[in-house]
Structure 1
Amino acid sequence: MEIKHVEKPAKSSRFHDFWVSFKKQKVSLISAVFLLLLFIVALFGQYFVPYDPAKVDYGQLFLKPSAAHLAGTDAYGRDIFSRILVGARISLSVGLSSVFLGALAGSALGIISGYFGKWIDSLIMRFCDILLAFPGMLLAIGIIAILGTGLMNVIFAVAIFSVPVFARIVRSSVLEMKSSLYVEAAKSTGAKDTRIILKHVLPGTFSTIIVYFTMRIGSAILIAAGLSFLGLGADPSTPEWGAMLSDGHNYLNTAPHVTIFPGLAIFLTVLAFNLLGDGLRDALDPKIKD
């Protein structure tokens, strides 16, 4: 008797389903390409910049944008385009590092708060309410006033500013999963809380964390640039976008390009992260349909 082999239809992977949904978001896809190029520039920009970003040339002060200097030169004759390319590494590093720390601490607090509830939930949420009561920039300035100036302290300040946001978002996801059948089934079999959290609850929060992580990077870059603009972040000589804005704001009437191009870099980067976050949310959230 001949046994026929029946081929089962291949199941589409989660990544395939995500990609099919994500590539429909044209604006988000363009933002992803832009950010990919920006990360390449951040990693390798120092090797192909047209000029030394730290070289001072007093014979080339305030040159307007041209073929030789695409974004012109600043008050010290330094090439602005080269400084923007090199500064991409600093701004992205600050944004990614601060949001990563904030997401790590905030997600842990959110999982503990949502899963265990009771007085632990109340204590953590009241702590988050205190942090959220302050405007983001004001809270960051207060933390910098305690820790001191410098990029490392800016990272910690922006990280603390991000903690309550992640804590509240993750808590809401955990509360929803906590009452699901598979969590209840795991509890009924006698599984420990640690195992349930790591195997069932934590994976269910990944999509939410990824979306808000992406969107939060833009806010972090904006806050970090604002602190540097106020003289509380990067050293003024550093090619950091906020510090470059601070250098150029005194010359808005005579040489506006000194401020326009760093500001444009911040604007496009923050916008790209926000648009990418919107696209990821639509692609990862099964409740959102076209």
Structure 2
Amino acid sequence: MSQSVTPVRTNQCALIRATANSPVHQFLRRFFRQKLAIAASAVLVALFLLTIIGPAISPYDPVKPDYNSLLQPPSARNLLGTDEFGRDILSRIIYGTRISITVSLSSVFIGSVIGTVVGLTAGYYGGSYDSFVMRTCDIMFAFPGILQAIAIIAILGPGLHNVIVAVAIYTVPQFIRIIRGSTLALKNMMYIEAARAVGIPDRLIIWKHIFPGTFSIALVYFTMRIGTAILIAASLSFLGLGAQPPLPEWGAMLSSGREYLMSAPHVALFPGLAILITCLAFNLFGDGLRDALDRKIVD
């Protein structure tokens, strides 16, 4: 009886050790050691919940004016006060969460997909195609991102959809450079040479062998670019080129509140804090994700 139990216990111990040494377990162990990244994750979870259930828990209509409550300070009735039209600032920030998160995720996703495809192919094939792609990126890098976005909006016209296009175009060369660099490092590896030797098509080598090696870098950069996208989208709305009134977008709220900095500073303070906290949370989460995925860090 004891002889039959021993192999079972041995197999169970081996399974436990294998699970403890799995890449997923190592990633989680490294990530949960970082307190700032965990705090940022909690903030991001709360923000994503607001994008889903925000309208259901919003205390007031975000666009309906109340001319009997103009520029009221924070109180029990309006926790964050009211704006110049008597609209509840808390309700507008809650609704603005959905707008800012949706715009930033959409723009970064579009830019990352295009940048990843171009970066993979440019790094793998090289030659004149690679030179053309990189010189184009150099031209785009020569101009500040906000100026590129303003130029694109000036051509397409103001509006949230055009903001998504502008931020996506700004994001593309960033991903091209990151993915191309990783592709150049991977394409001369022995397993890639072996795949070419046995006649595997280039498209399969790129997507099944090279792309998985660049995924972790792309994921980290994707996360950190969301904060930048939120900031650029808010800047465009602040300048009147993004969301148009009465849409409750954080940048537009900040723009309208700047006229009341002396008499009612809360009108600009709380949208500004929403932008700051959200961008900081995405950046801290991205830093934690990068450290957790870095295999050079010893547990």
TM-score (norm: length of structure 2): 0.94
* Deviating 4+ runs (over 3 angstroms): 2-6
1:141 to 138, 142, 150: 150
Q: What are structure 1's unaligned runs of at least 5 residues?
A: none
- Per-residue CA deviations over 1:152-187 (Å, capped at 9, x if unaligned) read 000000000000000000111111111212111211
- The match for 1:46 is 55
Confirm or deny: 8 A CA contact 1:236 1:247 kept in the other structure: no
Tell me the CA shift for residue 262 of structure 1: 0.1
- The match for 2:121 is 112
RMSD: 1.3
Tell me the CA shift for residue 190 of structure 1: 1.5
- Per-residue CA deviations over 1:90-128 (Å, capped at 9, x if unaligned) read 000000000000000111111011111111111110111
**1:214 pairs with 2:212:** no
Q: Distance in 1 between matches of 2:204 and 2:65?
A: 59
1:9 to 9, 14, 20: 14
Q: Distance in 1 between matches of 2:62 and 2:160?
A: 19
Alignment of 1:1-290 (within 5 A): 5=7, 7=11, 9-10=14-15, 11-12=18-19, 13-289=22-298
Amino acid at match of 1:113: A
Quick check: 269-278 or 115-124, which moved more?
Answer: 115-124
Q: Distance in 1 between matches of 2:129 and 2:263?
A: 57
Identity among equivalent positions (%) equals 56
Amino acid at match of 1:147: L
Q: Distance in 2 between matches of 1:30 and 1:247?
A: 31
Q: Distance in 1 between matches of 2:162 and 2:258?
A: 24
| SS of alignment partner, residue 259 of structure 2 | helix
Q: What are structure 2's unaligned runs of at least 5 residues?
A: none
Tell me the CA shift for residue 85 of structure 1: 0.5
Quick check: 250-259 or 173-182, which moved more?
Answer: 173-182
Tell me the CA shift for residue 210 of structure 1: 0.6
Tell me the CA shift for residue 14 of structure 1: 2.5
